[in-house]
Each structure stands twice: as C-alpha cells, then as structure tokens.
Structure 1
Amino acid sequence: MSNEPRFSVPGSHRTLPPRALRQGSVGEGETIEVTLRLRSRAAISPAAPAASGLAVTARELGAPLSREAFEAAHGADPDDLRRTEDFAHEHHLTVVESSAARRTVIVSGSLADLQAAFGVTLHRYTLDGQTFRGRSGDVSVPQELAGVIEGVFGLDDRPQARTHFRLASSGPAAIVAHAASVSFTPPELARAYNFPAGVDGHGQTIAIIELGGGYRKRDLDTYFHGLGLSTPRVSAVSVNGGRNAPTGDPGGPDGEVMLDIEVAGAVAPGARIVVYFAPNTDAGFLNAVTQATHDRLRAPSIMSISWGAAESAWTGQATQAMSSAFQDAAMMGISVFCAAGDNGSSDNGSDGGSTDEAGTDGVSGGPQHTDFPASSPWVTGCGGTRLTVQDGLPVSEVVWNNGPGNGATGGGVSDVFPLPGYQSGAGVPPSANPGGRVGRGVPDVSGVADPQTGYRVRVDGTDTVIGGTSAVAPLWAGLSALLNQALGRPVGFLNPQLYALAPVRGTAVRDIVTGNNGAYSAGPGWDACTGLGSPDGERLLAALGGAAGAGPPGPEEG
C-alpha cells in the first residue's frame, strides 16, 4: 500500500492563515469523522452533459425530480460506493454512513490512519484564541479512486463560515443617530413588500442551515404570541454531532438562529421549519446542505442559509461540492436562498484562504470578494437595502451601506464561477479587481437589511433589533413558502424565472437605483448591490402564474 500511485484531489489544496501559531502535532490516537463526496453516476457516462449547469434555463432544468428519481439518475454509482468502502477498510477506517443519494461516504478512524489514508499531515494551531486542527497542501487518494472521490472534508476543522447579521445597537452612536433608527416586525415587512394574502405557507417545509447556537421554545412562544400568531412547528435535526445548543449570548450564533426562525416563521406561520444544526466546518456545512436536500422524511421545498465567507476562504473542492449540492436541490425543485454578506464589496475577504484575515469593509480600494455560498449559480443570493415606509408602505429604498466598519451589503462578481446563462442579458459588469473578470454576479435579489431599519426579534429572552443580509434569506424563504402554496407547486430554482421577468421593469421586484456597497453602485436593472431588487410578492405571484392583484405602487427609489 505504501508504494501505490496516489493522485491529488482537485481543488483540495489548502493554506494556513499567516497569523496561525502551530502548537504541536495532533494526538494520533484521536478518532474523528471525515466526509468523502463522490462523483455522480451521470458523470461516468461519456455522453453525460456537463455538470456545471451554468447555461441553465428554466426549460432546460425541466420538471422537478422526486428524491427517489434523483437518486436513481444522479446519485453515486454502487460500484463507486463499494470501492470507496473497500479503501476505507484497507486503511483501518470505519464506514459510519454511506449514501448514494447524497453521494457521501462518512468514515471514522484514528488521526494516524486518516493521515496515512489521505496523504496529509495535521497539526494543532491557535488563532485569535481559537484552537483548530489544520493542514496545508493537497489531499491525495489511490489511483483507483482518482476522479471517484471529488472531495475530502473534515480533516481540517477550522471555522469555515460566519454569520451575516448585525445588531442595531452595535454601531457607533453617530451612526445610530444619523440613521434615524426604526424597526419592523416581519409581518409589517410582509405587508410593505406586498406579500400574497390569503396564504400562510401551509404544506411547505423550510430548511434552515445553522452552524452553531440554538433556540429555546419559550422564546419562540413569547415572540409569536406577541405578534398574534401561533408558534410555527419547529424541529431540530443533528448533523455530524451539531445540535440545538443556545449559548445565552444574543450577539452570538443564537442571534442568527432566532432571527432565521422568527423571520421565516412570522412571514409563513403555516409552514413547518426544520433547523439542521452542524459544526462550523467545511464538512459540517456540506453535510447539513446535503442532508436537508435529500431528507425524504421532512422533504423541504425551501432552504435558507445565512452563513458564509468570502470565496477566498474556501477550497476549490468545497465550492465545487457545495455548488453541486445546490444543483441537486434545484433539480428537485428546492428553492435555496443565501445571504450575500454584510461587509460591502470586499466581504472582509482575503486572498490567503482563511476567514480569519480581515479585509476592507465596503471600501473599493482593496481586493473585492463575493460571499459563498451566495455566489453559487444554483442559489438565489440575497443582498441588503435600507427601507423607509409611510403608512405601512415603502416610500424609499436604497442600498444598505452605513460606511466602513458599520456594515454594507455584500455583492460583486465571482472569482470562482463563470457568468451563468440566466444572467447573460443582465448587464453584469466586469469585476472591479485587476483583470476585470466577467463572472457570476451577486446578489440576485434584495430586501431590508440595514440594522437601523431592522427586524424586531427575540433572542435569549431579550427583545432586540437585528439586521444584515442574514435576515433577507429567511424573508425570501418565507415568501417562497407563500408562493408555493398559492401556486400549488414549488417555484423551485427561482433565478431563471426572475431574470426572464427582469426586462419588464416592476413586474416582480422593486428596482433599487441609489447607493453603493464600495466598488459597485446601484442603477436601473440588475446591479452588484441589490441584484434585481426587493420583492413585490403579489406581482411576483402573478408573474409566476398565480392569481394576484396589482398591489400598491412601488417606492420612489432614492
């Protein structure tokens, strides 16, 4: 075995943060789990179409596949699963789970055996008071599994993503005063955005992905009672040992969890909400997405994700595997909404492959980054605005940008994904980075995110106001539940439909034309700050084929 030819897994190269301090070797007897992502059986056929799907149209996507039909056509090949399991046993690893639908094999073993199996060396590092298990270089597999295993996740357990919410009280007093702070309940925003009446999301299941924190039912009961609503059905699913574990800190991940549940639940109180809790690692994030996508018991039709990081913080194998998982969701008619980030066009990114290096905050002078997973061409990226209402109706909506250090909507041009076909006529500009790359434009849609015109929620027994693009993803997820119920079918992957409607201004969204997020400015039509615009629920329903009235007039942008 020691002399067997080995091949690097494409995109598996990883670097360490420059400020990370090596603390020593890992305990080789320690046992951990590692996730292996396999190719689709469709990729084995020479006649199989390209899997990137970047030229997808609504017609090409076709009718949604059932989970059973998807597994039969696009799951892992049984022979690939067998060969992967044989490899695990040869290296003294235990197969914990093997899923053809998820194209996933999870193995466990000692760190000594795992390092030998995948040709890596692991060490302990500390960074900003956090300790993690890290690696650098490539992951390798034997020749017979080259091309079969598309990704190896979990060897390195550094934090992969961050939340995209901001507390209204977190900014300097001058910012708060300048903003003339106001706040909204989610039902008030649903009315302002003309969400469809007469539906409550009944029959729909919204999956929410969380990488930390938790919720308490008594807080949910208190919150929804205060809105005059019944508490939605909320359940928690453990992924890779993640669990509903409230920290007691409203400014920590509990703020994300409660915001997501309360916004989606207040907009669509008849929907079922399932929260998938996973560790904040690349393996945990991927497994939460695939578990939600292929969950036959709960069968989500919508997914909301408010965690992410600059594309530069991800390995190539991670962006490929995650985006492929979102493609799976699209093929099964699942709508996925992802927050576009809260740090302007720079996304606090770096070019060193780490979430831990701070970049500029909404300032165009440094390198620009889009946030992943919002930059996947298979999700609907959600940007942020500042909203002014009068008598419950919007009178002004502009790009959210409170200045350096105080938050601004993410958005820009992807460094990873090419321009998808549905954006070919949207006018996505060249990247603001040197070279002017033309790629996937982010976001696709928007909604109120400025914490000074934020969402009234309850977290850890405290009533507070929260903003950030974290709130926009569950807002659109709740709207999607209403649309699905009203239409009697899932709207599914929304982007091709939205961009097809875009040439008729005001058909389904409210165009935002004022403001910037650093390197990019808003303007008529799609832009890299607010995408196509904020929702007009009734008009969107009508455009998608449902019966709806014209609704209230749009705001005077600016």
Structure 2
Amino acid sequence: MVNKYPLPGSERTVEPGSQVVGQCDPAQRIEVFVILRRQRQAQFDALMSRIEAGDASVKPLSREALANEYGAAPDDIAKVKAFAAGHGLAVAREDAAARSVVLSGTIAQFESAFEVKLERYQHHAAGQFRGRTGAISVPDDLHGAVEAVLGLDDRPQARPHFRIRPPFVPTLAPQVSAQVSFTPPQLASLYQFPQGDGAGQCVGIIELGGGYNTADLTSYFASLGVASPTVKAVGVDQGRNQPSGDPNGPDGEVTLDIEIVGAIVPHATIAVYFTPNSDAGFIDAVSRAVHDTTNKPSVISISWGGPESRWTNQSLQAFNSVLQSAAALGVTVCAASGDSGSSDGAGVDQVDFPASSPYVLACGGTTLSASGTSISHEVVWNDGIDGGASGGGVSQAFPVPAWQNGLSATSTGGGTAPLGGRGVPDVAGDASPATGYEVLIDGTQTVVGGTSAVAPLWAALIARINAAKGQPAGFINPKLYKTPGVCNDITQGNNGSFAASVGWDACTGLGSPNGQKVAAAL
C-alpha cells in the first residue's frame, strides 16, 4: 500500500463565474510538469540573502553552475521517472537546471497517478478550460521532493496589461488637456536614457498568445529611422508566433513589447517566448528564458499577470523560485504592475503577480506631459474607472524584502502605514493611453498605453546599460532603493486606495527613470 500525501498549496477551488459542463475525454493526451526542490537549498539561500542585500562582491552564477550546484538532484529526477513508469506515463523531457520533469500521458493516467478528477468548465470570460478542485496527491517517496505539479488544469492564468487609446473623451483623463503621443525613442530621450543601441545584448519577452507580423516591424522601425533588430520567435509548450489579425487582442501586446524594445535597442537580439496562457505555460516560458543557453537574455520583460489571489500557492512559489534563479544568474526581470489600479480588477485591494515577486522590477504607470525635450509634468496614471490606472499596493503573498525595510504606503485618505508585505511597484514610466506610445499593430498606426509598455521601456534601458558596461546589471532593486534621486519622484495622483507621496509610494514606486542616474547607480 502506497501512502499518498496532499501536495501543499495545490488546492484549487471552483473559479467564480465558472461551472462544470462535462467530463474530460479520458483518452486525451496532455503534458504535466513536475517541479522539484532545489539541491543545496540552504547554501542557495545564503547566496540569495547577499544578493538581496546588494552585496557587490557577489558575482552572478553561470547557467552551468546554477544547473550543477542548485538544480534538481539526480536522485529526485530518478524517483519521478520511476513514479511515471509505475503509472504508464512517458517522460517527455527533463531539465535539471529548471528542476522540471515533463510527463506525458492520458487524462485517465494522470487522474489515477495524482488522485485528481479533471472536468470541463465554462467561464463567462475565459471560455472553456480543463479544471479540477481539491488537492493533488503525491506518493511517499516524492513527498517533500516535489514542489509543484502544473498543467493538470489549463485555465487561463494571466491577462495582458495594455490599453489601446479610446476615442478622446476629455473627462476620462482630467490631468490631460489634450491627447499627445510619443515614439519610444522620444520617451528614451525625455527620460534621459544613456546613448547606446544594445549591441551584444539579448532581451527576452514573454507572450501568452498572439503574434507579430514581420512586415509591421520592418515598416515601423523604418518609419522611426532605426535599424530593424533581430527578432527570434521561441515556441514553448505548443506556443508559437500566431498573429490573429486583431490589434485589440494579444497581437497588440506582442507587437507593442517588441516595438518598444527594438526602437530603443535596435542592435540587441529580441527573443520572444510564446506559450499557452496557463500557469504551467507561463512559468515554463519564463523558466526557458531564464535558463536559455542559446539566446542568453540578460533582461526579460513580462507584460502579463493576474491578481495574487488567482494563483495557487504552488504556482506562486514555483514561479517565484524561477525568478529567484534569474536574480542568481544576473538576469533582470521587468514586469508590468497592472492596469486596474489598487484593486487589480479583483474588487478588493490586490497586487498583480508576477510583478509582486521580490525578484522582479515591478513597473507602474504615469501620465506624462512634455514641453520640447523635457518633462513638464508627470503624475500617477489614473484615467478613471474605465480608463485604467497604475497597479500598486502591498503583497499578501510575499514579506517585505530587505531593500524595502522601513517604507510606508500612503493611502488616498492621507494616512500612512508601514508596509506589511512586499510593496508594488518599484518604478514607473509613461502608461496612460492619453499620453501613449505610437506603434504599428496589424498594419494599423495605433496609440497604446498600459503598464505593459513600461516593462519593455525599463528592459530597454537596462539593455543599454548592460551593453555599455559589458556585463549584466543583474538584480537591480537593492541598488535602486539605496540610491535616492535616480528616479523622477512622482508626488501627485492616486491609483484608487493609494496616493503618490515624496519618495517611494504604492502607485509609482521610486518614480520614472532618469536613465543617466540609473546607469550611474548600477
């Protein structure tokens, strides 16, 4: 008799607004990811605490060293393979560095192996998906070795954080008297980015759907008078570059990300990792980018996310562990903080994940006015209830990181309270569609905003800095927080429950970039 244990943090409940509409086909084949614990965890934790403290003497690990010293133990991988064989499951691939073993089999085999029931659900917004309720069970010899089992359900996990400019209604954006728009190079200039073209760098971009048209990119970069960057599509878990022809869909996100990065660092390589929109797909795409020994991105930009409460604890921790590996490797990860203000669209105050991970540079939003070549006015992006606002607040999943100790969040009512968890965002940049980015999507000239634009903007800044230094800036949060004045402090506006204030705040973090000062601080 084999004892089975519920996997901590794997519990799923019925998604609000969804209902069971039928059984899954027991013969349908799927792939499931088993994420294993890290070898030498205590040693790795000691290394990470030095990195988190901003210890400049710590050199980033090589991808090979991370795999060998802190990957999955061969013994743990062997146990998963034996477990798979016992249930008739095939091993599709294994990756010691990413600590993952991908199993392939039928739904009936996986239901038996992990003691789950998989059913078809219908959701009013997300459509149909495969789901489950309750916990996943693992046997005695995997108990403690397995951190997460992902891919049994495939419900959509995240949404893109971009907004196409609506027809102008002056009341939408009270702080903007007339609509203006900027090209990415104009914003790089307003934000005083150091000169450079990103030569020798690779920027990874994570996409959960949609695609880009090469003709759009060629035409867009030519219109700006910049060289066309090398763009590579990397398919992850059946994901691929698949433009839908709808600029309002994920194509808008994909194209926006590439065009912002490419316009600012045209001589960088841009690797776009396409994956299905599920927690398994999202985590695997970021893991592939982090551990990619071919393209070796030094910066990764993520413009997708969802409220912390929508993630299972196992997914949250597995994803955070991948982001921790990025920090150990000296890879900077920039993530959009969300476009729905302090509630993140969840009805109560929440922050967006993965932006809330302590190993990410969380990017919030501002509304920007310029006069000539300088910024005349910059406030928190908040275009009203339907117009979008900078995501920000206090994490309920992650404690206050060392570099945020002693900070407080100012509420819209004027009170301040010490942070009770990781504060979001860290930094900000232009995000209002009313002062948005000029891009070309599916053949149409479009103006787009959203914190989705801010993550690639910061990623491009880091790529310029990395190219100039000839080495990666790495995990930059401790350095930014230690160097007051590297950002333009935003002191006006709110995102719902939180207000801008002098210094860090839960709307725009430390502020928008002064690129020259950021470069000097790093």
Q: Indicate the TM-score class for this superposition, using the shorter chain for normalisation.
A: over 0.9
Q: In structure 2, the residue corresponding to 1:212 is in which secondary structure? A: coil
- The residue that corresponds to 2:391 in the other structure is 410
Alpha-carbon distance, 1:22 to partner? 1.0
The structural deviation recorded for 1:56 is 2.1
Give the CA deviation at 1:50: 6.8
**Segment of structure 1 superposing worse, 484-493 or 378-387:** 484-493
1:234-278 Cα deviation digits (max 9, x unpaired): 000000000000000000000000000000111111111000000
Which sits farther off after the overlay, 289-298 or 47-56?
47-56
Question: Given the alignment of the two structures, is residue 400 of structure 1 paired with residue 381 of structure 2, yes or no?
Answer: yes
**Residue 57 of structure 1, CA deviation:** 1.1
In structure 1, the partner of 2:433 is 451
Counterparts in 2 of 1:125 and 1:50: CA distance versus 1, 3 Å: farther
* Aligned counterpart, 2:469: 487
**Matching residue's letter, 1:408:** A
8 Å contact kept, 1:327–1:378: yes
Name which of 443, 448, 458 aligns with 1:466.
448
Mapped contact 2:410–2:499 kept (Cα < 8 A):
no
1-side partners of 2:16 and 2:335: how far apart?
Answer: 29
Deviation of residue 191 (structure 1)? Answer: 0.3
* Alpha-carbon distance in 2 for matches of 1:173, 1:438: 37
Q: Is this contact kept in 2: 1:430–1:439, CA < 8 A?
A: no
| Residue 359 of structure 2: aligned partner | 378
Which ranges of structure 1 fall in alignment gaps of 5 or more residues?
350-358, 360-366, 545-558
Matched, 1:20 2:18: yes
In structure 1, C-alpha distance between the alignment counterparts of 2:47 and 2:9, rounded to whole Å = 16
Q: What secondary structure sits across from 2:9 in the alignment?
A: coil
C-alpha contact 2:44 2:70 (8 A) present in aligned 1: no
Distance (whole Å) between structure 1 residues aligned to residue 46 and residue 12 of structure 2: 26
Offset at residue 427 of structure 1 (A) = 3.1
Task: Tell me whether 49-58 or 323-332 shows the greater mean CA deviation.
Answer: 49-58
- Of the three residues 280, 285, 294, the one matched with 1:283 is 280
- Quick one: distance in 2 between partners of 1:465 and 1:498? 30
> 1:341 aligns to what SS in structure 2?
coil
User: CA offsets, 1:366-422, max 9 Å, x none?
Assistant: x20000000000000000000000012101100000111210000000010000001
- SS in structure 1 opposite 2:321? helix
**2:216, 2:440 within 8 Å by CA — same for their partners in 1?**
yes
Equivalent position to 2:506, from 518, 522, 528: 528
- Tell me by how many angstroms 1:53 deviates: 5.0
1:222 aligns with 2:236: no
* Equivalent AA in structure 2 for residue 101 of structure 1: A
What code does the residue aligned with 2:336 have?
Answer: A
Alignment equivalent of 1:32, drawn from 27, 30, 33: 30
Aligned residues: 518
Output aligned runs, 1:205-284, within 5 Å: 205-284=202-281
State the match for 1:101 in structure 2. Answer: 97
**Alignment equivalent of 2:492, drawn from 504, 509, 514:** 514
**Residues 399, 512 of structure 1: 8 Å contact kept:** yes
Matched residues, percent identical? 50
Give the C-alpha shift of residue 19 in structure 1.
2.0
More deviation, 479-488/16-25? 16-25
**Corresponding residue SS for 1:184:** coil
Q: Is the 8 A contact 1:61 1:331 kept in 2?
A: no
Match of 1:164 among 147, 161, 169: 161
Q: Offset of 1:171 from its aligned partner?
A: 7.0
Distance 1:539-1:235 versus aligned 2 partners, 3 A rule: same
Cα distance in 1, alignment partners of residues 408 and 170 from structure 2: 38
Contact 1:386 1:400 in 2 (8 A): yes
Between the aligned partners of 2:370 and 2:392, the Cα distance in structure 1 is: 25
Deviates more, 1:169-178 or 1:274-283: 169-178
Judge which range, 331-340 or 162-171, deviates more.
162-171
Q: Which runs of 5+ in 2 are unaligned?
A: none
Q: Which residue of 2 aligns with 1:87?
A: 83
Alpha-carbon distance change, 192 to 431 in structure 1, aligned in 2, over 3 angstroms:
closer
Q: For 2:32, give the aligned amino acid.
A: V
Q: Distance in 1 between matches of 2:300 and 2:368?
A: 25
Over aligned residues, Cα RMSD in angstroms? 2.0
Cα distance change on mapping 1:532 and 1:437 into 2, 3 Å: closer
For 2:77 and 2:244, the matched residues in 1 are separated by: 39
Q: Which TM-score applies when normalising by structure 1?
A: 0.90
Question: What displacement does 1:202 show?
Answer: 0.5
Q: 1:476: which partner in 2?
A: 458
- Report the CA distance between 1:49 and its aligned residue: 3.8
The corresponding residue for 1:11 is: 9
Name which of 111, 115, 124 aligns with 1:115: 111
Residues 415 and 176 (structure 1 numbering): CA distance in 2 closer, same or farther, change over 3 Å?
closer
CA distance in 2, matches of 1:260, 1:54: 32
CA distance in 1 between counterparts of 2:44 and 2:181 reads 51
Write the letter of the residue equivalent to 2:481.
Y
SS at match of 1:58: coil
Measured in 2, the distance between the counterparts of 1:318 and 1:51 equals 23
From 164, 185, 188, the equivalent of 1:187 is: 185
- The 1-side partners of 2:479 and 2:304 are apart by 25
CA distance in 2, matches of 1:411, 1:150: 29
- 1:72 CA drift (Å): 1.2
Per the alignment, in what secondary structure is the counterpart of residue 112 of structure 2? helix
Paired residues of 1:346 and 1:368 also in contact (CA < 8 A): yes
Q: Residue 16 and residue 201 in structure 1: after superposition, are their counterparts in 2 closer, same or farther (change >3 A)?
A: same
- CA distance in structure 2 between the partners assigned to 1:439 and 1:90 by the alignment: 43
3-state secondary structure, aligned to 1:452: helix
Corresponding residue number in structure 2 for 1:320: 317
Q: Call closer, same or farther: CA 1:262–1:499 in 2, change over 3 Å.
A: same
Match of 1:255, SS state, is helix
2:521 pairs with one of 515, 537, 543 = 543
Is 1:419 equivalent to 2:400 in the alignment? Answer: yes
Name which of 54, 57, 76 aligns with 1:58: 54
Provide the TM-score with structure 2 as the length reference: 0.96
Say whether residues 1:125 and 2:121 are aligned partners. yes
Structure 1: distance between partners of 2:205 and 2:40: 29
* In 1, Cα distance between equivalents of 2:72 and 2:462: 30
**How far, CA to CA, are the matches of 2:168 and 2:5 in structure 1?**
49
3-state secondary structure, aligned to 1:183: coil
SS at match of 1:381: strand
- Cα distance change of structure 1 residues 374 and 209 upon mapping to structure 2, 3 Å threshold: same
1:69 correspondence with 2:97: no
Contact 2:412 2:496 in 1 (8 A): no
Look up the equivalent residue of 1:541 and give its one-letter code: A
Shift of 1:173: 6.4
